[in-house]
Amino acid sequence: MREIALQLYSQNLFTFGQARRLTNLSVWEFQKILAQRNISRHYDESDLLEDIATIAKI
């Protein structure tokens, strides 16, 4: 699942959160894997809205 999630994220088909949840990794673990593979972090309005929704749940 990890490889699929990374591929979908790198092709901009999944958001960071979607790909991370598919791998069942923490934010930091997933971000570390992206860095190790030289996959740039995409952060757009949908990611921001997802982060806001997550914070609201806390």
How confident is the model over 12-30, as pLDDT tens digits?
999 899 999 999 999 999 9
pTM higher than 0.75, yes or no? no
Mean pLDDT over 6-16 rounds to 94
Confidence of residue 3 (pLDDT cuts 50, 70, 90): very high
Mean pLDDT over 32-42 rounds to 94
SS3 53: helix
Domain boundaries, the chain: 2-57
Does pLDDT of 47 surpass 80?
Answer: no
Angle at 19 between CA 8 and CA 40, to 5 degrees: 70
Confidence of residue 43 (pLDDT cuts 50, 70, 90): confident
